Amino acid sequence: MSGTRFVGVDEVTERLRAVSYLPNRMIASVVFLADRLEKPILAEGPAGVGKTELAKALAAATGSRLIRLQCYEGLDESKALYEWNYKKQLLRIQADRAHDASWAEVEADIFSEPFLLTRPLLEAIRATDPVVLLIDEVDRVEMETEALLLEVLSDFQVSIPELGTVAGTQRPLIVLTSNATRELSEALRRRCLYLHIDYPAMEREREIVRARVPEIDELLATRIAQVVRSIRQLELKKAPSISETIDWARTLLHLERTSLDQATIDDTLHLLLKHERDIQRARTELTGTDRTR
């Protein structure tokens, strides 16, 4: 049965660190409790702080298959749960009619397993191998689509009118992520363990850079974390994500830059910031202060 993936919070930390995901104590605690209580994790916070990476790291750390439902506006049951293969059904109807089959026989034939197209949620429910289910950016879907998730999150089952109720044989780790672009329903929140993930403290981000880019000098990693922290304190359209910090560190290695002087920052700031106004604001701030030394 599930609920026995980790013996304690410290083991969660160790196993996630082994796959280069560096959790703080709160993240490790919520993961452990989600596993033991068999409840989904609702990870909320700014874009780019490692919410999606947490699900990927959990899959790697537990040797599980990652099944991902990428949410977007307009996502419906046919893309999230299942749909029938209408073209294949039509061909079977034509074949059955040629053999004078009754409608009852045709209906029983076409609404059966060979004609069912599984989507991520149903795939996770029916999986027999270890699974981590990622429902990514759940705040992007409409309330009606959010409602269809409730049966899955509560009982880990789905009702298919033509086939009946399909219940899961195991309870996977489930991670829902939200960038808080809209308020999620209380019904959804009630079914989850809540986890807020924010940008890491400077020391933790330095450690993340060192873990993901082990070739980098420790002093340079520290300076990168310092500069990124300074930039995030500005009023920006989009603050640098952790993945962009890592890309920046890798870029500096490829360019054989060993320090963060003003020329280096000017040449590579576009790796961190993706809006010209943000780049100009950060450049002005960093030029006027002694933050990189």
Q: Which of 117, 137, 127, 130 is nearest to 69 (CA)?
A: 137
Kindly state whether residues 16 and 147 are assigned to the same domain.
Answer: yes
- The domain that contains 151 carries what CATH number? 3.40.50.300
Out of 157, 172, 196, pick the residue that ends a domain.
196
Same-domain status, 56 and 131: yes
Q: Which two tokens stand for residue 269?
A: 């700031």
243-291 tens-digit pLDDT:
999 999 999 999 999 888 888 998 999 999 999 999 999 988 887 654 4
Backbone region of residue 170 per phi and psi (left: phi > 0; alpha: psi in -120 to 50; beta: other values): beta
Determine, yes or no, domain membership for 24.
yes
**pLDDT (tens digit, 9 = 90+) per residue, 7-65?**
999 999 999 999 999 999 999 999 999 999 999 999 999 998 999 999 999 999 999 99
d(CA 122, CA 135): 13
Task: Check if the beta carbon of residue 73 is closer than 8 Å to that of residue 140.
Answer: yes
Q: What are phi and psi of 172, to 5 degrees?
A: -75, 165
Phi, psi of 200 (to 5 degrees): -75, 155
CA-to-CA separations, 291 to 15, 228, 231, 248, in angstroms, rounded = 35, 10, 10, 17
Beta strand pairing call for 131-136 and 164-167: unpaired
Q: Examine the domain organization and report whether 106 and 251 are in the same domain.
A: no
Residue 32, pLDDT score: 97
Q: CA 150, CA 169: separation in Å to the nearest integer?
A: 18
The answer to whether residues 144 and 59 belong to one domain is yes
- Determine phi and psi for 125, rounding to 5 degrees: -65, -40
For residues 190 and 215, state if they share a domain. Answer: no
Report pTM.
0.84
> Where is the domain boundary, 150, 178, 196?
196
Q: From CA 4, how far away is CA 198, in angstroms rounded? A: 28
> 153 and 256: one domain?
no
Domain for residue 2, yes or no? Answer: no
Residue 282 and residue 244 in one domain? yes
Q: Of 163, 196, 229, which residue is a domain's last?
A: 196
Q: How many domains does the chain have?
A: 3
Q: Which domain holds residue 223?
A: 202-287
Query: What is the overall mean pLDDT for the chain?
Result: 89
Residue 293 lies in a domain: no
Looking at the fold, whether 70 and 130 belong to one and the same domain comes out as: yes
User: Tell me, what's the pLDDT at 291?
Assistant: 43
Classify residue 210: in a domain, yes or no. Answer: yes
Q: Compute the distance between CA of residue 208 and CA of residue 20 in angstroms, rounded to an integer.
A: 8
Q: How far is the CA of 144 from the CAs of 75, 94, 133, 264, in angstroms?
A: 10, 35, 20, 49
| d(C-alpha 225, C-alpha 245), whole Å | 8
| Same domain? 28 vs 163 | yes
Measure the CA–CA gap between 200 and 225, rounded to whole angstroms.
Answer: 10
Task: Judge if 97 and 163 occupy the same domain.
Answer: no
Residue-wise DSSP of 115-147: GEEE-HHHHHHH--S-EEEEEETGGGS-HHHHH
Q: Which of 143, 126, 123, 21 is nearest to 71 (CA)?
A: 143
Query: What is the predicted pLDDT for the residue at 64?
Result: 96
For 189-214, how does the pLDDT look when each residue is reduced to its tens digit (9 = 90+)?
Answer: 999 999 999 999 999 999 999 999 99
Write out the E strands in the chain. Answer: 41-44, 65-70, 82-84, 116-118, 131-136, 157-160, 164-167, 173-178, 193-196
Q: Would 146 be classed as within a structural domain? A: yes
